[in-house]
Amino acid sequence: MMAVKTAQGSPSVGPPLWLLAELTYRCPLQCPYCSNPLDFAQTEQELSTEQWVSVLRQGRAMGAAQLGFSGGEPLVRPDLPELIAEARHLGYYTNLITSGLGLNEAKVAAFADAGLDHIQVSFQASDPELNNAVAGSRKAFDQKLAMARAVKEAGYPMVLNFVIHRHNIHQMTDIIDLCDRLGADYVELATCQYYGWAFENREGLMPSRAQLEKAEAEVNAYRRRLEADGSAMKLIFVTPDYYEERPKACMNGWGSLFLTVAPDGTALPCHSARLLPIEFPNVRDTELRTIWYDSPGFNHYRGDSWMPEPCRSCDEKGKDFGGCRCQAYLLTGNADNADPVCSKSSHHDRILAARRAADHATAGIEELTFRNANNSRLFFRG
């Protein structure tokens, strides 16, 4: 599909290549780093099966090639096999991102029959006690182990994800050992990115620089060992940009490749963008093509004409696009500002203060604010 011209000052924009279908915000887990909105319980009614099918068809007609089923926990949607089958019929490469709770061998087989290409199972730690404490479920760890093995036995690549924070970063070698024993093909060790509940809990989750450097050294040592042993397991270590001097190129640029549809049908350029004071369209009311190419929300930060200094005259603006708009808003109150991760930002001192706080943080895991505080407090009290 040919690129089209969008708002004045914006470059030509191609189609969304990656569509993320956040089917629901419902989830059996209570993780204190959940990226879902803090007020997720107030979200309007979820899209129906028919509405999701329409979204998938519109996205594919525009050129979207990869499709992620996410949440919350997408397994709580009983229509998931139907949506997977429709996605296969349309020609998407499909990925299910799941906690593994609610999964069983029969569902794994049904998803394979429906044409699902890829399943990613998340863990919270390498041991049952910490894993279950973070998840807020006494049975989470054993269920995850069983489902990771079931996914592998069904012929899928085993893709495991661990969110890394100050309470499990000391387990890095143990985490990779567990993945190795399970026969994982890909392991994503994703250090917390501070949005949603993770931003709410940043002081209790952010590792110190010393912890981060030690963990990175352990990952690199394990990579060398895997290479020497001829293992095919791949380790992907994602560091928090709070310890960088230049911001990440968030989503490869606003409204460039990624299109997220939230459970209520709100269309977003990234899954965190609904926190911004910008009006985003809804697929119930507007066609996806119009949303992507013509809506003010998706054109808001395309190109560079919106940039104030220091981004406007920075010779790296074509690499990082000014950084993350959500992070700029969370840390400065103005989404137009340079991402404070950047050392050129006038607000960079807020990142430096967060680093200093991480060096002296003492809060235990039980002191964090969990996604469902009532359930989590009951879990810790036993």
Known binding site for [4Fe-4S] cluster: residues?
A: 27, 31, 34
For the residues of 310-358, what is the DSSP string, one character each? TTTT-TTHHHHTTS-HHHHHHHHS-TTSPPTTSTTSTTHHHHHHHHHHH
Round to whole Å and give the CA distance between 163 and 169: 9
Strand order in the sheet with 267-268: 234-238, 186-191, 159-164, 118-123, 93-98, 66-70, 18-22, 258-261, 267-268
Residue whose structure tokens are 């500002």: 337
- 3-class SS of residue 11: coil
Q: Which backbone phi and psi does 226 adopt, to 5 degrees?
A: -60, -40
Q: Which distant-in-sequence residues (6+ apart) come within 8 Å of 287 by Cβ?
A: 58
CB-facing half-sphere around the CA of 363: CA atoms within 13 A: 16
Q: Residue ranges for the binding site?
A: 27, 31, 34
CB 124 within 8 A of CB 135: yes
Sequence-ordered list of residues with C-beta below 8 angstroms from that of 380, at least 6 positions apart, any chain: 133, 366
User: DSSP of 218-268, one letter per residue?
Assistant: HHHHHHHHHHHHT---EEEEE--GGG-SS---GGGSTTTSEEEE-TTSBEE
